[in-house]
Amino acid sequence: MNNTKKKIITIMICALMIVTSVYIPTTANAANTNIMHKSTTAFAGAPINYNFSINRDSDLRFIVRLETRTGLRFTIKDSVLGTSLVTDSISTGDSRWNYQKKTGIFELKHDMHLEKGDYILEIAFDQDINFEMTMDQLSLDAKLNKSSISITKGFTDTLKVTGGKIKSCSSSNTKVATVSNNGKIIAKATGTAKIKVKLTNGKTLTCKVDVKPNQYSGKNITVTDTLLNTYQMKAYKASFDKKGNLVVNFKIANNGSGRITTISNLKIAVTTSNKSQIATYKKASFAVNLNSYKDKTYSITIPKSSLKMNQKNIDLRTAKIKISDANANSEL
């Protein structure tokens, strides 16, 4: 083979490598598969078309990145029938534009579900602009952020899905807990329920919900928990009565040889988990009748009118209660 023929073959091989290596699907963040990645310039009002295929019924995530916000329109069509399957228009001021501080780029995400097949993406912008665009096939390995959850009666929590898109949600016991189609759970009554989250790819995920009563529970101390020749006080239960008053039950354990008849300057502080004040109780002289080496239960009631927060916003199950007196005895 002469040198001229060798050169021609070498050129042909290189050209073939360039053509066949235009794009190879890669795995994004070890979960999703990238099926399209384009970066080019668009002219105002001029549609650009891209062909793509998916090998299974899939949830897809379409992302557009721009240096400045502008209006755009995109349509996804069946490449055989030409019918429009997904259409969306986004204005310059659309709230879906998300500014990425680290890169200085505006990003727009759109999730959708398509069946296995061949498609055409048509996109047009309101102004001349440079853009980057990706299309990811979301992983079938979809997961909920929580497989089981405890919620206080009257409060809410939200389920979120990674690797998929929620189609609908349902509860096995709506008397205990209800759920919206965006995954928001409302705890109605104490008990358990199973939440089913159906995804657009047909997969169903479940979460067990345990609704707890709105009450504080702490350790019920005894004399054996108390240092010799001392006494301690600790709240072990707190709840709202039918009138909305806050009732705090606490134990005093006396591990000393003397009888206790009075707690001077009794102070009880109830706070949220982030230290916001719920209620306080103070009494200069709190009468007790506690023999040596004994423990006894006492309770105080804080009127609803004295609460520092709306009762609907008070989650006693996660609250903190501190009790102290003139001798600085206290327990959290």
Residues 17-52 have pLDDT tens digits of 333 333 333 334 446 789 999 999 999 999 999 999
pLDDT tens for 162-179 read 878 898 999 999 999 999
Residue 86, class by beta-carbon neighbours within 10 Å (0-12 exposed, 13-18 middle, 19+ buried)? middle
Q: Give the pTM.
A: 0.63
Largest CA distance in the chain: 115
Q: Which residue has the tokens 């990674």?
A: 162
Q: What is the mean pLDDT of residues 91-97?
A: 93
Q: Which residues pair with 86 in a beta bridge?
A: 76
pLDDT tens for 36-92 read 999 999 999 999 999 999 988 888 889 999 999 999 999 999 999 989 999 999 999
* Alpha carbons 169 and 180: distance in angstroms, whole number: 6
What is the DSSP code string of 258-290? SPEEEEEEEEEEEE-TT--EEEEEEEEEEEEEE
CB 202 within 8 A of CB 285: no
Q: Which residues pair with 264 in a beta bridge?
A: 285
Residue 9 burial (CB count, 10 A):
11
* Alpha carbons 23 and 35: distance in angstroms, whole number: 9
| Structure tokens belonging to residue 1 | 């083979």
Give the model's pLDDT for residue 112.
87
Backbone angles phi, psi at 251, to 5 degrees: -115, 140
* Alpha carbons 66 and 134: distance in angstroms, whole number: 12
Query: 25-137 — its CATH code?
Result: 2.60.120.380
Give the model's pLDDT for residue 315.
97
Average pLDDT, the chain: 88
| Structure tokens belonging to residue 38 | 């384009």
Q: What is the mean pLDDT of residues 202-217?
A: 94
Q: Which residue has the tokens 């349509």?
A: 75
What is the signed CA dihedral for 186, 188, 192, 193, rounded to 10 degrees?
Answer: -50
DSSP 331: B
Residue 39 burial (CB count, 10 A):
10
Query: 143-212 — its CATH code?
Result: 2.60.40.1080
Provide the residue ranges of all domains of the chain, joining segments of one domain with +. Answer: 25-137, 143-212, 215-324
CA-based radius of gyration for the chain: 32
* Alpha carbons 224 and 16: distance in angstroms, whole number: 84
Q: Between the CA of residue 137 and those of 90, 112, 166, what are the distances in Å?
A: 22, 10, 15
Alpha helix (H) residue ranges in the chain: 3-20
Which amino acid, one-letter code, is at 133?
M
Whether the domain at 143-212 and the domain at 215-324 fall into the same CATH topology: yes
In the chain, the percentage of residues whose pLDDT exceeds 70 is 89
Q: Which residue has the tokens 């602009």?
A: 129
pLDDT tens for 121-150 read 999 999 999 999 999 987 777 889 999 999
CB 192 within 8 A of CB 210: yes
Q: Is pLDDT above 50 for 297?
A: yes
Residue 291 burial (CB count, 10 A):
11
Among 116, 120, 113, 23, residue whose Cα is nearest residue 74: 120
CATH class of 215-324: mainly beta
